[in-house]
Structure 1
């Protein structure tokens, strides 16, 4: 989590995702129209990895519906239930919710009531 909109922060997150996921050339990176995603530095990293940048249309939240839905779920199922004393405590708690519960245990109706990890493993085995 960052306390400001920074291209450095999203570039670091992108490098982390690339290292973990090893996406293929031509991978589509979709985001909202935030200044951090529109920055020249961020766009250069996408170009270096032959990624295709996709941005929501101005004022159209439906273009980013999957992301909007995720953050709604995160807030209503987790964040609103806690009062964090520090930013570090919030960061750790949210990380654990996403990595340990949401991705590995929470069943998603859109994935046939499987977790994202289970769905991905099944798709890779097919």
Structure 2
């Protein structure tokens, strides 16, 4: 099926970086190769068009295997969206203290409640430089892949149908089946299993 380009916005901001909240330094500094799981997570927000309106998706990706370890979807992009995604990752993976968490400078990530969540779980915060999407290239790449392989080929009547499609893409296909060049062309789950057995 050809992509339904008419239903896709050409540009729509998902984070507001023009705010007066504190900005964390870029501790990650594009070091996208990580030696162990649950050392560095990266995250971002994107949007999905449905006939009911926008559906927003926040993800948390483990740089080690590129596995999406946390995600959240809602019809808003308030701080709760990103907090819920990170809480899922913490609950599933139980990372040690000192995890590095890298995002853009969006107001959700700079908010007081998000910083409190990071402090509660002893997570260090890193943010991209102003206007530099390459500093968060892994998150950007995942969203590009998601939209190219799934979103741009569908017209979603409801947010519910979009949520189900994205859930299946992440949990059934992307994490478990889709091969990734950074993993020696293994899926994120298979790469982690191989490294554990080595």
TM-score, reference length from structure 1: 0.95
Describe how 1:42-53 pairs up with structure 2 within 5 A: 42-53=114-125
Residue 175 of structure 2, aligned match among 84, 103, 122? 103
Counterpart for residue 153 of structure 2: 81
CA distance in 1, matches of 2:103, 2:184: 25
Tell me whether 1:60 sits opposite 2:127 in the alignment: no
Separation in structure 2 between the aligned mates of residue 117 and residue 106 of structure 1, nearest angstrom: 9
Distance (whole Å) between structure 1 residues aligned to residue 196 and residue 112 of structure 2: 34
Contact 1:56 / 1:64 at 8 angstroms: preserved in 2?
Answer: yes
Runs of 4 or more consecutive aligned structure 1 residues displaced over 4 Å after TM superposition: none
**Does structure 2 retain, via aligned residues, the 8 Å contact 1:5–1:35?**
no
Structure 1 unmatched ranges of 5 or more: none
Q: Equivalent residue for 2:143?
A: 71
Q: How far 1:12 sits from its partner (Å)?
A: 1.8
Task: Verify: 1:113 aligned to 2:188, yes or no.
Answer: no
How far the C-alpha of 1:5 sits from its partner, in A, is: 2.1
1:24 to partner: Cα distance: 1.0
Inter-partner Cα distance in structure 2 for 1:94 and 1:82: 11
CA offsets 1:9-38 (integer angstroms, 9 cap, x no match): 221222111110111110011111111111
Q: Which of the pair is proportionally richer in helix?
A: 1
Q: CA RMSD in A?
A: 1.0
TM-score in terms of structure 2 length:
0.62
Q: How many residues align?
A: 126
- Larger RCO: Structure 1 or Structure 2 (Cα < 8 Å, ≥ 6 residues apart)? 2
1:24 maps onto 2:96 in alignment: yes
Shift of 1:55: 0.8
Residue deviations 1:25-62 (CA, integer Å, cap 9, x gap): 10011111111111011001101111010111110011
User: Which region of structure 1 is more displaced relative to structure 2, 115-124 or 18-27?
Assistant: 115-124
Distance 1:13 1:120 in 2: 21
